[in-house]
Amino acid sequence: MASRDLAQMRKDALDIFRAGVQAVEPEAAVKQYCRREGNRLLVHQKVYDLAEFERIYVIGAGKAGAPMARAVEETLGDRITEGLINVKYGHLARLSRVKVTEAGHPVPDEAGLEGARAILDLASRAEKQDMVLCLISGGGSALLPLPAEGLSLQDKQDTTKVLLACGATIHEINAVRKHISRVKGGDLARAAYPATLISLILSDVVGDDLDVIASGTTVPDSTSFQDCMNIFDKYGIREKVPETILDHIRKGIDGKVPETPKPADPVFTRTQSVIVGSNLACVVAAEKKARSVGYHTLVLSTMIEGETREVARVHAGIAKEILKSGHPLSPPACVLSGGETTVTITGQGLGGRNQEFVLAAAMGLSAVPAQAGLKGREGIVVLSAGTDGTDGPTDAAGAVADSRTIERAQALGLNPADFLFDNDAYHFFEKLGDLVKTGPTNTNVMDLRIMLICCAQQ
């Protein structure tokens, strides 16, 4: 099957995308890592004897909270004592024991704050012979907003804005966030202690850093109040940060407010954190599907970041090399990558990073010179889409293109460079009928990019 037609390859790409998303569907993901066999609860590599636990509480926050809770309900049934989760407005599922609070995302609101307070109370009520299951997914940080005592939501938001504007890294922003919150940086784990705390996490961040996902609600924090002040000084933003926040940080430095729990804290002798779904799981499932339909496969990386159109050029360079020399693998080939790129918006158009990726990749492929031994230029398909079914402020998850896309566009009088320049990939692919629309998938592990490369049909 060295050659297959473009229509078949496009169908393959969509099938591969769907297989990837299916593997990280929240219910399936939770059930894969959290299984019950009679009185034994198997969570990844650990076994819990349910007979030893008096009460089981379910808490959590995130956009995928409801279907995750549903999986837990189906697994533990009436063993669940009580449950309380915060989800984004409208992100519901049929639940019988776990109570859902709908709250604001990406901007936190009062509903989220009320819900977070109730969740913290529930965790605090758990005792040594209890189990707390904590369900974390994308959006968990904004959906669990609980400022430290004396601070307001507005103070927190203003501080985040100042940090974003000064160019602080995500790790620096998180260090501060953790020290002005009552649930982040391991504080929720401290509340649950000495109960057994199991966190089931659907990761939506590059690298699956537990410290970053939902600002490390249930894991140790290695940063300090002093670090926060150093960060303010490093960027010279002390006078821009709200005075209440500065006061709080100063109190922390003086030991008047407790530090976040550190890695050696006894709290973490009774915790387990399991990533039940991630970009890697999605990409690996997609790879399995690609192999099953006859492609040689290569998982490039799930930690791809950077300016979208430049990342696309690198991907195009890899596809061209596969056709030219069979490096890094020979056709029929499927190259997969994940992660989340960024788009520096300079235009007025409509699009998202996935659609822009596909447009820039298609342009990179069309620059294949005919004499370069690349007779197979017609044999490339590129698909990129958000696993949550959305891409930027559009109704599409992404787009699909092939090595004839640019010619087809030009025949319709469309200049691809104009659309790229205007960040208008949506209208480009809309006119070609090449948007990928899946509707909401209820999950989110960032993006999945698929390139299929086959030899030319003879």
| Nearest-approach distance from CB 17 to a second copy, in angstroms | 18
Query: SS in 3 state form for 168-198?
Result: CCHHHHHHHHHHCECCCCCHHHHHHCCCEEE
What residue type is assigned to position 35 of the chain?
Answer: R
Stretch in the footprint of a second copy (CB under 8 A) among 14-22, 126-134, 186-194, 304-312: 304-312
**Pairing relationship of beta strands 398-402 and 34-37 according to DSSP bridges:** unpaired
Q: Is 327 in the site for a second copy (CB under 8 A)?
A: yes
Q: Is 298 in the site for a second copy (CB under 8 A)?
A: yes
Q: Is 362 in the site for a second copy (CB under 8 A)?
A: no
Q: Is 412 in the site for a second copy (CB under 8 A)?
A: no
Contact yes or no for 356/413 (Cβ under 8 A): no
| Nearest-approach distance from CB 216 to a second copy, in angstroms | 8
Backbone φ and ψ for 446, nearest 5 degrees, come out as 70, -145
State how far the Cα of 368 lies from the Cα of 376, in Å rounded to an integer.
10
Q: Which CB sits closer to a second copy, 10 or 190?
A: 190
Binder among 123, 280, 359, 455 for a second copy (CB under 8 A): 280
Stretch in the footprint of a second copy (CB under 8 A) among 143-151, 316-324, 349-357, 391-399: 316-324
| Nearest-approach distance from CB 220 to a second copy, in angstroms | 9
| Nearest-approach distance from CB 145 to a second copy, in angstroms | 23
| Nearest-approach distance from CB 154 to a second copy, in angstroms | 29
Contact yes or no for 178/115 (Cβ under 8 A): no
Binder among 369, 413, 433, 439 for a second copy (CB under 8 A): 369
Exposed, middle or buried by CB within 10 Å (0-12, 13-18, 19+), for 144? buried
Binder among 38, 255, 346, 370 for a second copy (CB under 8 A): 370
Q: Is 411 in the site for a second copy (CB under 8 A)?
A: no
Backbone φ and ψ for 89, nearest 5 degrees, come out as -45, 130
Helices (H), 350-432: 353-366, 405-411, 416-421, 425-432
How many residues belong to the chain?
Answer: 458
In the complex, which residues of this chain contact a second copy (CB under 8 A)? 169, 171, 207-212, 219, 222, 280, 298-307, 310-311, 313-314, 317-318, 320-321, 324-325, 327-328, 339, 364, 367-374
